[in-house]
Structure 1
Amino acid sequence: MQNTYIPLAERLRPQTLDDFIGQKHLVGQSGVIRKMLANQKISSMIFWGQAGVGKTTLAMLIAKTLAKPFFTLSAISSGVKEVREVIEKAHSQAATILFIDEIHRFNKSQQDALLGAVEKGIITLIGATTENPSFEVNSALLSRCHVYRLYPLETNDLNQLLSNAIKFLEREHIHQQRKILLKETEALLRLSGGDGRKLLNILETAVNFAFENSTDENIVLTDELVQQAVQQKTVLYDKSGEQHYDIISAFIKSMRGSDPNASVYWLARMIEGGEDPLFIARRMLILASEDIGNANPTALALATNCFQAVSYVGYPEARIILSQTAIYLANSPKSNTSYVAIEKALEVVRQTGDLPVPMHLRNAPTKLMKNEGYGKGYQYAHDYPLNFALQEYLPEKMAGTKLYEPANNPRENEMRARLKQLWKEKYGY
């Protein structure tokens, strides 16, 4: 029978709570999970954190410590049918623990299938998610669970993990009588990004690479060797996860804040992580109107051209177009007056309802409508000096309401001056 390869992270998975590295706020001597286990009581919970921080391991240790029946499902490959099968088995097995990995991938009906069993205590649910559960887990299910945040492993934790792993690997390679010396750790720590599983995978790759390509008495792990083994750096960027939204938020706020340096940095993070260039261009298109607007109308035109261009070009050349546009938007004068105006107008509409259109502004395509007074008294702007006729364009109850307030920038100051010239004191410009 062919041996199945088991990754180092799995071979090193802790067997007791004392072996667990990191998350001291949960498993340390004063940690809430440790206290629960000491009292032999556990409630339904959701572990929220990035990959490789110990969510699955902690769930397994909880079940092992309490000696409870333990079932595990992956939301990627399981559905309502599998959930109901576990619940059925749980009826005959007291205090069953059900661990669901990537619970955020369950849809509403799948999550709803858990509600009754969780509420009645038939199962104790432990969910794991890389997403903010406030957004991805049904409020009904969320209210029945405690949410515990798991954080990226700190440098001390990662170094301890490396030390344990090297001793373990030396025992596995004992027949070769070669020591593994960790000379440099910068590449290992940087490439892992606080992900313990990724760290161990990179370490194992580097050690195997060294064993195969070196005849030296000892294996010396350097940053150069690690980079050689991995061949290409790994970027911590989950296109569908929380960091996806955090980084695009930082990108938008940097352009809004007129910082081209930060803008291209966050742009590079997204490009290196394989983000869809159209997603980036689409967000710049929104910013060009929302945050720049009439302070520089050309920004919207450039952003529109950027979106069209990257749809034709794609990576790698699209990075240049995206960079040009991001820098231009960051350097543009800012105004959110268009955004503020439409939000005010929408609020007024919600409050006042369907106010009648003034008769002089109504369309009169038929003789009957003309006889009813539709369009009567309308002043055609182009028949007047400056192409402007002083008449009311708002419903009667809203006459004189100002929704647009020009910002203090050169272009909108020109707009303010023209509006004041035309409307005199009516709108207070």
Structure 2
Amino acid sequence: MKQQPLAFRMRPGHINDIIGQEHLVSEGKIINRMIQAERLSPMILFGPPGTGKTSMAYALAKSLDIPVKMLNAVTDKKKDMEIVVEEAKMSGQVVLVLDEVHRLDKAKQDFLLPHIERNLLTLIGCTTSNPYHSINPAIRSRCHLFELHPLTMEHIKTAIKRTLTDNVNGLGSEPVELMEEALEHLAFAANGDMRSALNGLELAVSSTPQNDEGKIIISLDVAEECMQKKSFSHDKDGDAHYDVLSGFQKSIRGSDVNAALHYLSRLIEAGDLDSIARRMIVCAYEDIGLANPQAGPRAVSAVQAAERLGFPEARIPLAVTVVELSLSPKSNTAYKALDQALDDIRNGKSGDVPAHLKDSHYQGAHKMGRGVNYKYPHNYENGWVDQQYLPDTIKNKDYYKPKNSGKFEQQLKQVHEKIQSEKNNTRF
């Protein structure tokens, strides 16, 4: 038993043991409702590595005391699936947990489908790929699709603490003393990946000799070595990495290129490419937006290049893009306008779509007034014609307030103002 990896041994055995994914397994949520009803449906669990897809699948089957078999769509053959079906015929039902389900070939799929249809097999497929792009429609249409989210630092810390007190499957029988800053670093460096955190913890414990008092002391230095990622700081409050990320984003927003490069350097030293990528892309769309609309696609391209190159070369496209983002003109008008529209919707400020805009591509639509008097803009000289688009209750709403930031938005502002002026001249 102890020869199995720690992350495997600590897999949850019941839905109540699952850490994270509250949107699916907490009281009243969809998967919890399945368990309460004792009716497990076929499903695809998808999300980043280490979010607990396979572990959740196993825990769900065990929660209902249904026999469970775990296979891999790539490495296991059709013969292995035939054996599972025979076992299901003997027991009445089997949960088949199928890793890499997006790699399921046609022969295996054709074999499984009739058994899934009859509910002899309850398929729980697990994949890191987007099922809408990668899963065959024949399988996808027969399964619920549930996205698993990256675990937070608090989730990871909860799992580590549980592991250190578990005398059966965890490290409760070991004389481990985990320093608080080491716990923080294990949780942070795992970047939402439970498996990574527990693998790092297991390596730290197994490779650290006992001190003179018979204790295994896991310090920050040990945690850094075992996770192969440096800590932002030796601060015990655990907020240092968030402060650096905040400083990075706000320096780009404030057009301070030197500060942005400084914080980028600290993030690179910590090896935190995921956070760098996310903040750069967010800045490109949130803070620069229409002032330089190509900043977004270029930030995405830089991130893709960095991910392909890996460190240390990844620093090169990152540096180029951070300089561009910092020195680009800034505008948040687009998303601010959308936020105002969303706020109206959420506060009940909506209304019926005007009749002339409603779908008219069906028999009898015109009799109901659908699409009648709609003016097709392309039939007019400027490609624009004055007609009402917003519902009556908010027909005069003006969400978008353009700025003079950057040539592109200046051009948009001119078009916007011209249309508004023509509307006013037409109506008065």
What's the TM-score, normalizing by structure 1? 0.55
**Using a 3 Å threshold, how does the CA distance of structure 1 residues 267 and 327 change in structure 2: closer, same or farther?**
farther
SS in structure 2 at match of 1:211: coil
Corresponding position: 1:276 with 2:322:
no
Question: What is the identity, as a one-letter code, of the residue corresponding to 1:171?
Answer: G
1:144 CA drift (Å): 0.9
Q: What are the Cα deviations for residues 269-291 of structure 1, in whole angstroms up to 9, with x where unaligned?
A: 556xx7335xxxxxxxxxxxxxx
Corresponding position: 1:224 with 2:221:
yes
Match of 2:35 in 1: 37
What is the aligned counterpart of 1:120 among 118, 123, 133? 118
1:322 CA drift (Å): 7.8
SS in structure 1 at match of 2:113: helix
1:101 CA drift (Å): 0.8
**Using a 3 Å threshold, how does the CA distance of structure 1 residues 131 and 19 change in structure 2: closer, same or farther?**
same
SS in structure 2 at match of 1:206: helix
Which aligned pairs between 1:267-346 and structure 2 lie closer than 5 A? Answer: 270=304, 275-277=307-309, 320=316, 324=320
Q: What are the Cα deviations for residues 361-414 of structure 1, in whole angstroms up to 9, with x where unaligned?
A: xxxxxxxxxxxxxxxxxxxxxxxxxxxxxxxxxxxxxxxx99xxxxx979xx9x
What is the aligned counterpart of 2:154 among 153, 156, 166? 156
Corresponding position: 1:140 with 2:138:
yes
What is the aligned counterpart of 1:98 among 87, 96, 99? 96
SS in structure 2 at match of 1:165: helix
Question: What is the identity, as a one-letter code, of the residue corresponding to 2:172?
Answer: R
**Using a 3 Å threshold, how does the CA distance of structure 1 residues 260 and 180 change in structure 2: closer, same or farther?**
farther
What is the aligned counterpart of 2:186 among 165, 185, 188? 188
**Any stretches of 5+ residues in structure 2 without a counterpart?**
231-269, 330-380, 383-405, 412-428
**Any stretches of 5+ residues in structure 1 without a counterpart?**
278-313, 334-400, 403-407, 414-429
1:232 CA drift (Å): 4.2
Q: What are the Cα deviations for residues 174-216 of structure 1, in whole angstroms up to 9, with x where unaligned?
A: xxxx45143213321221111112111112222334336x546
What is the aligned counterpart of 1:50 among 48, 51, 73? 48
1:166 CA drift (Å): 1.9
Corresponding position: 1:14 with 2:12:
yes
**Using a 3 Å threshold, how does the CA distance of structure 1 residues 148 and 216 change in structure 2: closer, same or farther?**
same
Whether the aligned pair in 1 keeps the contact of 2:46 and 2:146 (CA below 8 Å) is yes
1:77 CA drift (Å): 0.4
Corresponding position: 1:68 with 2:66:
yes
**Using a 3 Å threshold, how does the CA distance of structure 1 residues 261 and 183 change in structure 2: closer, same or farther?**
farther
- C-alpha distance in structure 2 between counterparts of 1:50 and 1:68, whole Å: 27
RMSD over equivalenced CA pairs, Å: 4.5
1:121 CA drift (Å): 2.0
- C-alpha distance in structure 2 between counterparts of 1:208 and 1:122, whole Å: 43
Question: What is the identity, as a one-letter code, of the residue corresponding to 1:20?
Answer: I
1:236 CA drift (Å): 7.7
- C-alpha distance in structure 2 between counterparts of 1:110 and 1:251, whole Å: 45
**Using a 3 Å threshold, how does the CA distance of structure 1 residues 127 and 225 change in structure 2: closer, same or farther?**
same
Whether the aligned pair in 2 keeps the contact of 1:187 and 1:227 (CA below 8 Å) is yes
Match of 1:392 in 2: none
Whether the aligned pair in 1 keeps the contact of 2:284 and 2:296 (CA below 8 Å) is no
**Using a 3 Å threshold, how does the CA distance of structure 1 residues 138 and 199 change in structure 2: closer, same or farther?**
same
Question: What is the identity, as a one-letter code, of the residue corresponding to 1:120?
Answer: R
**Using a 3 Å threshold, how does the CA distance of structure 1 residues 206 and 256 change in structure 2: closer, same or farther?**
same
- C-alpha distance in structure 2 between counterparts of 1:172 and 1:106, whole Å: 41
Match of 1:165 in 2: 163
1:328 CA drift (Å): 6.9
Which has the larger displacement, 197-206 or 74-83? 74-83
- C-alpha distance in structure 1 between counterparts of 2:65 and 2:37, whole Å: 13
What is the aligned counterpart of 1:23 among 21, 43, 53? 21
Percent of aligned positions that are identical: 32
1:58 CA drift (Å): 2.0
**Using a 3 Å threshold, how does the CA distance of structure 1 residues 249 and 16 change in structure 2: closer, same or farther?**
same
SS in structure 2 at match of 1:276: helix
Whether the aligned pair in 2 keeps the contact of 1:8 and 1:204 (CA below 8 Å) is yes
- C-alpha distance in structure 2 between counterparts of 1:236 and 1:96, whole Å: 41
What's the TM-score, normalizing by structure 2? 0.55
- C-alpha distance in structure 2 between counterparts of 1:34 and 1:156, whole Å: 22
Q: What are the Cα deviations for residues 7-41 of structure 1, in whole angstroms up to 9, with x where unaligned?
A: 11122222333222222233223233233223221
SS in structure 1 at match of 2:307: coil
- C-alpha distance in structure 1 between counterparts of 2:198 and 2:121, whole Å: 33
SS in structure 2 at match of 1:171: coil
**Using a 3 Å threshold, how does the CA distance of structure 1 residues 329 and 32 change in structure 2: closer, same or farther?**
closer
**Using a 3 Å threshold, how does the CA distance of structure 1 residues 132 and 224 change in structure 2: closer, same or farther?**
same
- C-alpha distance in structure 2 between counterparts of 1:95 and 1:76, whole Å: 23
Aligned residue-pair number: 295
**Using a 3 Å threshold, how does the CA distance of structure 1 residues 11 and 235 change in structure 2: closer, same or farther?**
farther
**Using a 3 Å threshold, how does the CA distance of structure 1 residues 125 and 231 change in structure 2: closer, same or farther?**
closer
